[in-house]
Amino acid sequence: MEKSLAVGTQGELFEEWLELRNGCLCCSVKDNGVKAIENLMKKKGKFDYILLETTGLADPGPVASIFWMDKELGSDVFLDGIVTVIDAKHGTQKLNEKPEEGYFSSTVRQVALGDFIILNKKDLVTPPDLESVYKTIRSINQCAEVEVTEYCRVSLDKILDLKAYDGLQSSRLKQISEETEKLNSFASSHLDQSVGTISLQLPTPLDKKSLEDFLQKILWEDREDSAMDNRHEIWRLKGLVLLTQEGAPPVPTMIQGVNDTYELTALNPNEVPQDAEPLSSRIVLIGRNLKENEFTKILTSTIK
Ligand SMILES: Nc1nc2c(ncn2[C@@H]2O[C@H](COP(=O)(O)OP(=O)(O)OP(=O)(O)O)[C@@H](O)[C@H]2O)c(=O)[nH]1
């Protein structure tokens, strides 16, 4: 299978074909997609930015993992963020489709994993319908910024250089947590309420081993025990925690996760904005069947 890329030099655009030997990009193993782009960069020189447009039916999770994980391999390609476009006219119907055998429509996953969501075609719907689809998006994903547009007119500054996987401000995380709590105290508007966002406060500071035990339990172990329909699935995870270290002050550490992969990155304390209050450790989770009390129980049993 091949995939075309639009490549531009000095204002001129032309198509470049990438050969993907192992099927399409979203089903192929990591190396094919990344290597194809790296080869292209060797031929054409480094790009300022790569915008990868998936088909409307793609699940962004595996594609995100391909480019996100490759950072470890010293690649020049890294994942900046996921931008999702939702059609205001048909979005509500797509977002409310019942999951089949536990699998959600890719539209729900695209909203859940979006770091910036463009709610487009506002001119084709009434204000109440626009409000309804907006609320549905928010009830799934409370972390992403949502911009309502016509013809997807949006400032490029908003969708480029998102740094959604390598920068997280404690003030933004706190704001997300507060919004999450507020929103979760009202009934969410989408019909299937099993997909949503929750936030958890973790003890501060905490040690790395306890944190990793907790993350591995919620991402890998505990969900395998429960029945398919009820088990939780974490699709996206973000967090900022204060980790203890021997003989030195605790280190602010960022947690990022997609599906069952996560990464901890120690931040330079000087880069962490000094909030009015001391940094508290919290994580935000997006996925299905996320129950705060279930996670709190796991937290209590894991973090002593
Ligand atoms: N009225 C109105 N029409 C729009 C808007 N945005 C796009 N369109 C039109 O809708 C039609 C279909 O475009 P899209 O919905 O963007 O579809 P697409 O992105 O080409 O399709 P896929 O990439 O295959 O999903 C085109 O004729 C666009 O001009 C909008 O905000 N308002």
94 lines ligand 1 (CB under 6 A): no
120 lines ligand 1 (CB under 6 A): yes
With both helix axes pointing from N to C terminus, report the angle between 208-216 and 292-302 in degrees, rounded to the nearest 10: 140
Q: Could you tell me the distance, in angstroms and rounded to a whole number, from the CA of residue 228 to the centre of ligand 1?
A: 37
177 lines ligand 1 (CB under 6 A): no
Average pLDDT for 202-230: 81
151 lines ligand 1 (CB under 6 A): yes
Per the structure, the count of domains in the chain is 2
110-119 core/surface letters (b: 16 or more CB in 10 A; e: else)? bbbbbbbbbb
Q: Could you tell me the distance, in angstroms and rounded to a whole number, from the CA of residue 140 to the centre of ligand 1?
A: 24
Residue 168, φ and ψ in degrees, nearest 5 = -150, 120
Average pLDDT for 16-36: 58
What's the confidence (pLDDT) of residue 186?
Answer: 46
User: Residue 133 is which amino acid?
Assistant: V
Is there a domain that residue 17 lies in?
no
107 lines ligand 1 (CB under 6 A): no
What's the confidence (pLDDT) of residue 150?
Answer: 98
What's the confidence (pLDDT) of residue 9?
Answer: 55
In three state form, how does the secondary structure of 213-234 look? HHHHHHHHHHHHHCCCCCCCEE
Share of the chain above pLDDT 90, in %: 29
What's the confidence (pLDDT) of residue 50?
Answer: 87
Among 89, 121, 148, which is best to mutate for testing ligand 1, by the most ligand atoms less than 8 A from CB? 121
**What's the whole-model pTM score?**
0.81
On the CB side of 129, how many CA atoms lie within 13 Å of its CA? 14
Measured distance between the N- and C-terminal CA atoms of the chain, rounded to whole angstroms: 51
> 56-60, 88-92, 184-188, 237-241: lowest mean pLDDT where?
184-188
Helices (H), 147-302: 156-159, 170-184, 208-216, 222-225, 292-302
pLDDT averaged over the chain? 79
CATH number at residue 77: 3.40.50.300
56 lines ligand 1 (CB under 6 A): yes
Same domain (yes/no): 44, 118: yes
Tell me whether strands 12-19 and 2-9 are parallel, antiparallel or unpaired: antiparallel
240 beta partners: 254, 282
121 lines ligand 1 (CB under 6 A): yes
Classified as helix, coil or strand, 185 is: coil
- The pair of structure tokens assigned to 282 is 């919290």
Average pLDDT for 234-255: 86
CA 285 from chain centre, in angstroms, equals 9
Instruction: Report the nearest-CA residue for atom 29 of ligand 1.
Output: 151
What's the pLDDT band for 132 if we cut at 50, 70, 90?
A: very high
Same domain (yes/no): 242, 186: yes
Distance between CA 304 and CA 300 in Å, rounded? Answer: 7
- The pair of structure tokens assigned to 115 is 């770091």
User: Residue 263 is which amino acid?
Assistant: E
Same domain (yes/no): 207, 251: yes
Is there a domain that residue 233 lies in?
yes
What's the confidence (pLDDT) of residue 187?
Answer: 42
Q: What is the pLDDT of residues 136-163, one digit of tens each?
A: 999 899 889 999 999 999 999 999 998 8
CATH number at residue 269: 3.30.1220.10
Atom nearest to 53 CA in ligand 1: 23
> Which of 134, 158, 182 is the C-terminal boundary of a domain?
158
What's the confidence (pLDDT) of residue 113?
Answer: 95
Of the two residues 19 and 189, the one the predictor is more confident about is 19
The ipTM, to two decimals, is 0.93
Residue 127 belongs to what H/E stretch? helix 127-140
What's the confidence (pLDDT) of residue 235?
Answer: 92
Atom nearest to 56 CA in ligand 1: 25
Share of the chain above pLDDT 70, in %: 72
Among 150, 153, 154, which is best to mutate for testing ligand 1, by the most ligand atoms less than 8 A from CB? 150
> 14-28, 198-212, 270-284: lowest mean pLDDT where?
14-28
